[in-house]
Chains A and B, each alone.
Chain A
Amino acid sequence: MCLGIPGEIVEIKAGHDDLAVVDVVGVRRAVNIGLLEADQVGVGDWVLVHVGFAMSKIDEAEAAATLALLTGLGQAYTDELQALAESDIS
């Protein structure tokens, strides 16, 4: 129901309350970071952007864990194919 796009914080605007600049593959837009805990985010962090607000900081460790799990499932699949190819029931 809600479009949320991951973007990288490239600048925290000094002198503006809660304002940061986020980069999405070369496209930049100012977003409000007031919904995140103060000092929770800095330049180089990734956030999820929705209607001009950063809703959540993206947890890189969790992202890696999810991908590892998906890769693990892929590995099991490859192993199975491998086993199937090597099995000889003739």
Chain B
Amino acid sequence: MRFVDEYRDADKAQALATQIAALCEPGRQYKFMEVCGGHTHTIYKHGIEDYLPENVSLVHGPGCPVCVIPMGRVDDAIAIAHEPGVIMTAFGDMMRVPGGNGSFLDAKAAGADIRMVYSPLDALKIARTNPDRKVVFMAIGFETTSPSTAMTVLRAAAEGVDNFSVFCNHVTILPAIKAILDSPDLRLDGFLGPGHVSTVIGCRPYEFIARDYGKPLVCAGFEPLDLLQSVYLLLKQLAEGRCEVENQYTRVVPWDGNLRALEAIGRVMQLRPYFEWRGLGFISHSALRMRDEYAAYDAERIFEVPGVRVADPKACQCGEVLKGVLKPWECKVFGTACTPETPIGTCMVSSEGACAAYYNFGRFARQRLTEASAV
């Protein structure tokens, strides 16, 4: 595949690994956070950590839209799905995410009409072909995905499709990064910026991270060489005493983002005063809701939602894992009570959550490393 295969070249990776090792000061520990769950997935899926020296560690951030959905919101969506005449539509990612009383798959088994879609436009199509049903789209995702939801609502409005609505759970990445930066028990040396979110918001909004918090950020692509090169660029900044926002993913990310996409979000949605993130708690101005002008497409206003908060089990230490304070395996319930089959906490929920990625892909790589270091 073009623009994919050439960024998976093992020889180039070997060369980069040598350059990375050369940039590391002996004895110094480097901790970089990849904000985006897609990066976490790539890191484990391709075994990128095998190329990094022992004193460079990657901390897995909160950028997984499925992981951060609180259980109460899943329950709300399931309550809507059980309303008479409703077809609930959702991305495949959402199907196994547990709420307080089971997941979408469980609700489907109990009789709710829940269908998987690839695009919000597919949900709109279902609404068009089922005029006597109420079709709800379970909208999740960061700024990469919210423009698509917005465009779909604009299209529904233009076409006069009035049996389509959105249960809006879109979140914004910057307040989450800020919450992590403000956390007192955190020590990070820099960030790998979320490349696909940046296609929409650009690189400029990250400037406060370098300016106010003194942490460099490199906006990174999603192929393994992209990530290695971004680690290299971060180390280079540290070695040269620079602290900047850099763009490694220039083939896709324009510095100023995508104005049309931002405009679409702004037309249809507005910031919520606050929103709960699983594992991180309530964060102000961190999520989007539908604007009043589009109330007719807002499932939260069309249906009664219970709005009951479901507390995470006390044993769950997702918050610490998300902030990089704990490694996934250091959590008390990791791998025993909390597994990909029965995820207790947010990080185990989706394949790109830190714990699930480690459980599914990384169990052996780390084991081998500890064996090697024990010898």
Contacts and interface: CB of A to CB of B under 8 A. Distances in A.
> Taking the complex as a whole, does A directly touch B, i.e. does some CB pair lie under 8 Å apart?
yes
B6 A67 contact: yes
Contact of B261 (A35, A60, A66, A74): A35
Given A1-B38, A1-B65, A35 B250 contact: no
* Closest CB pairs A-B (n = 3): A52-B119, A77-B15, A2-B144
B231 to A, nearest CB: 13
Interface residues of B, number: 53
A24 interface: yes
B151 A34 contact: yes
Interface of A: 1-6, 8, 24-25, 32, 34-37, 46, 48, 50-53, 55-56, 58-60, 62-63, 65-67, 69-71, 73-74, 76-78, 80
Contacts of B199: 4, 48, 55-56
Given A2-B142, A65-B250, A52 B19 contact: no
A51 B251 contact: no
Given A51-B119, A65-B250, A46 B15 contact: no
A8 B1 CA distance: 11
B218 to A, nearest CB: 13
16 contacts: A1-B37, A1-B194, A5-B4, A25-B1, A35-B148, A35-B151, A50-B148, A52-B118, A53-B119, A55-B200, A58-B251, A59-B252, A60-B251, A63-B3, A66-B251, A76-B19
B113 to A, nearest CB: 21
Given A50-B148, A51-B148, A73 B352 contact: no
A70 B12 contact: yes
Contact of A70 (B2, B229, B352): B229
A70 B251 CA distance: 14
A48 B252 contact: yes
Contacts of B348: none
Q: Which of A2, A34, A53 has the largest count of B CB atoms less than 10 A from its CB?
A: A2
B210 interface: no
Nearest to A70: B12
A62 B63 contact: no
Nearest to B195: A4
Nearest to B40: A1
Contacts of A32: 119, 121, 148, 151
Contacts of A24: 1
Contacts of A76: 15, 19
Give the secondary structure class of A's interface.
Answer: mixed
Contacts of A51: 91, 118-120, 141, 145, 148
Q: Which of B36, B119, B352 has the largest count of A CB atoms less than 10 A from its CB?
A: B119
A58 B254 CA distance: 10
A50 B144 contact: yes
B252 A56 contact: yes
B3 A36 contact: no
A47 B151 CA distance: 18
Contacts of B2: 6, 8, 46
B306 to A, nearest CB: 27
A8 B258 CA distance: 20
Contact of A55 (B6, B9, B144): B144
B134 interface: no
Contacts of B118: 51-52
Interface in B248-279: 248, 250-254, 258, 260-261, 264
B144 A62 contact: no
A71 B195 CA distance: 22
Interface in B292-319: none
B225 interface: yes
Interface in B124-168: 141-142, 144-145, 147-148, 151
